[in-house]
Structure 1
Amino acid sequence: MNPRIAVPAIAGWLFADLLLAFSIVVLGTQEPPPLPVVEPTVSPSLNPKPTRLALERRYIKVSLRVDPRKGSRSAIGALRRAIKSHPELKDRTAGIVLTFGAVVSGGEDFAKSVNKLLPRVDRELFRDVATRDFQLIGGTDGAVELQIYLFFNK
């Protein structure tokens, strides 16, 4: 290695290092730009609505048997009777219903057809409910199991 380094080479590196240090000092002394002031546009209400609804952890299990070959009228009647047999569902609102259906073929489709009937069974209980359709494994033909998750009572 050459013990003597040219002076212009050292001067160039020194100039670059000083320029970098000066840039860091200048950037560090700058004040941040002012944040925009946001005025609230919503006026307070006397009766505020809750913005988030919470579901209870436990669910109500409703089991029944529906003949898939009969029309929706008999299925609605069977669902109404099964729902009325659970007094804890009275004057409540469901958030999620998991429906398990058992038929020889297409249990998920059967569960979906049951879910479509829920608003006609009880408008208040199943108002804006989210549903999921599942195959009931090991169930007899026409067996339906509803797992109803309710919103907390206020």
Structure 2
Amino acid sequence: MSRDAGRPGGLAFAGWLFADLLLVIVLVVLGSEVPADEPDPDPGPTPTPTATATATPGPSRSPSPTPPDTSRPGGLDPVTVSVGIRLDPDALIAGRPAETAELTRQITQEIKRYEGRTAAFVMVFGTVRTGSGGSGGSVDTGRSDAYATAVARLLPQAAPQFFPPYSEKIIRGYHDSGSGIASGTARIELFFLLS
């Protein structure tokens, strides 16, 4: 009696393996197909041909340059600008008017060199340390986030012509746990639109 009597032959196994491999190839080919562009649901009115007079340009005429396409915004400038301020985080989080006024003073001073521009996207990185402050102690991420968010919320009030209206989508607060950063520091990354 043969040892392989109860097992299917190697040829049958190869057939199933080939069928599975063929199925995988079909799925890959179908998945890599690029869908055709969908037709415009509202193509607009069909232009009607009109008679136009054709003139032969004289030797002194030159074609006028095509104006640049300004219908699309240029997007965000990949080169960011960073400004920094330093405040009492707990006083700012509590909304004390003196600390809010100090934020306005420092921000106004920092953005003077960017006069005429408007920030399109802003990221605020706050650092609040435990202990006596300074650059010693560990970073308290909860208070750092709260501090950064408080700064982010107040920026449009401090300089409304420079900062966009507050929205978590375009002005966001984060904690910064980098070593050597003093407690109460807020680093503000500014993104401008390409011009």
TM-score where L is the length of structure 2: 0.49
Distance 1:88 1:110 in 2: 25
- Pair 1:97–1:38, CA change in 2 (3 A): same
Can you list the C-alpha shifts for 1:99-140, whole angstroms capped at 9, x where unaligned?
A: 110113321121011100011011111124612221111322
Distance 1:73 1:140 in 2: 21
State the superposition RMSD in angstroms: 2.8
1:75 aligns with 2:100: yes
Moved over 4 A (4+): none
For structure 2, the 5+ residue unaligned runs are 1-39, 46-69, 130-139
1:141 aligns with 2:183: yes
1:56 aligns with 2:77: yes
Give the structure 2 partner of residue 22 of structure 1.
none
Give the structure 2 partner of residue 92 of structure 1.
117
SS of equivalent residue, structure 1 residue 38: coil
Distance 2:149 2:76 in 1: 22
Give the structure 2 partner of residue 10 of structure 1.
none
Give the structure 1 partner of residue 159 of structure 2.
122
Can you list the C-alpha shifts for 1:68-93, whole angstroms capped at 9, x where unaligned?
A: 23225423433443443343321211
Counting only pairs closer than 5 Å after superposition, residues 6-21 of structure 1 correspond to structure 2 as: none
Offset at 1:55?
1.6
1:131 aligns with 2:180: no
Matched residues, number: 112
* Kept after mapping to 2: 8 A contact 1:92/1:150: yes
Distance 1:74 1:63 in 2: 15
Higher-strand-fraction structure: 1
* Kept after mapping to 1: 8 A contact 2:80/2:191: yes
**Which of the pair has more CA radius of gyration?**
1
